[in-house]
């Protein structure tokens, strides 16, 4: 990406003066490993169309009764980057696509700032259906839905996962550690041991623009991790 274009994207983030430097290598940072739940095998061996069909028809948890539609995920099925959020919101539930609206636009700008158009990544959520009122996912809902994400990972074989937001990070890593303490580390997800980096949710950054600089540091960190995979 040329310098002018990168500055344009950084301006969208409110970070126009920021300069890339000192990207850490994956081997120099702490690592935690999230265990794979026993339900993982349930979706093993299915291809993209079959998996999409299973999600669309899923009634494993009560969210199936209140959703407009499932939100499977979107993007490049050869992507190196898998972006994982918490769950669909109202607009995502309407459109059937993750990260749309203002938060989605900010996510797109964040990705473009590190040279990744939205079309080059795959974007999904821990939950494929919207919790009513945008409440946090219940533990049982996440447990029922995670095997779908795990099979998406098995099909995609990403080089890196970026968990956006506390809820996504805590569900993926099976921890209640704060987002602030999960950032700037390389975690590992599931049996595939995919490197996983944590950052803020763009909806949070819209409410708390002072933390955009930290998010930018996280993206540079993740890019450095990906380059060393
Ligand atoms: S949230 Fe997941 S497990 Fe629950 S009904 Fe939707 S697709 Fe099925």
Residue-wise pLDDT for 35-85, tens only, equals 444 455 667 789 999 999 999 999 999 999 999 999 999 999 999 999 999
Q: What is the pLDDT of residues 94-113, one digit of tens each?
A: 999 999 999 999 999 999 99
pLDDT of residue 34: 47
Supply the pTM of this predicted model.
Answer: 0.86
Distance, CA 150 to ligand 1 centroid (Å)? 14
Instruction: Indicate which residue's Cα is closest to atom 4 of ligand 1.
Output: 61
Residue 205 pLDDT more than 70? yes
Distance, CA 110 to ligand 1 centroid (Å)? 28
pLDDT of residue 6: 63
| Pocket of ligand 1 contains residue 128 by CB under 6 Å | yes
| Pocket of ligand 1 contains residue 223 by CB under 6 Å | no
Instruction: Indicate which residue's Cα is closest to atom 1 of ligand 1.
Output: 129
| Pocket of ligand 1 contains residue 64 by CB under 6 Å | yes
Q: What is the pLDDT of residues 210-220, one digit of tens each?
A: 999 999 999 99
**Cα-flanking dihedrals φ and ψ of residue 166, to 5°?**
-60, -45
Q: What is the pLDDT of residues 7-45, one digit of tens each?
A: 655 666 666 544 443 444 433 344 444 444 445 566 778
| Pocket of ligand 1 contains residue 141 by CB under 6 Å | yes
Cα–chain center distance at 74:
12
């Amino acid at each position: 990406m040329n310098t002018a274009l990168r500055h344009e994207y950084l301006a969208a983030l409110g970070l126009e003066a920021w300069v890339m430097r000192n990207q850490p290598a994956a081997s120099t940072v702490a690592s935690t490993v999230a265990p794979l739940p026993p339900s993982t095998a349930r979706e093993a061996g299915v291809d993209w169309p079959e998996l999409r069909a299973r999600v669309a028809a899923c009634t494993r948890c009560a969210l199936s009764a209140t959703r407009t539609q499932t939100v499977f995920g979107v993007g490049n099925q050869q992507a190196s980057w898998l972006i994982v959020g918490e769950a669909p919101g109202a607009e995502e539930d309407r459109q059937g696509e993750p990260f749309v609206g203002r938060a989605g636009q900010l996510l797109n700008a964040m990705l473009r700032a590190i040279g990744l158009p939205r079309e080059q990544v795959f974007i999904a959520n821990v939950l494929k259906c919207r919790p009513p009122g945008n409440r946090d996912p219940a533990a049982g809902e996440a447990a029922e839905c995670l095997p779908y994400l795990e099979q998406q990972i098995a099909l995609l074989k990403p080089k890196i996962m970026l968990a956006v937001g506390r809820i996504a990070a805590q569900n993926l890593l099976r921890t209640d550690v704060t987002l602030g303490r999960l950032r700037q580390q390389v975690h590992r997800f599931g049996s595939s041991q995919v490197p996983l980096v944590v950052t803020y949710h763009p909806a949070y950054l819209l409410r708390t623009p002072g933390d955009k600089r930290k998010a930018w540091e996280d993206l540079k960190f993740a890019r450095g991790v990906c380059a060393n995979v």
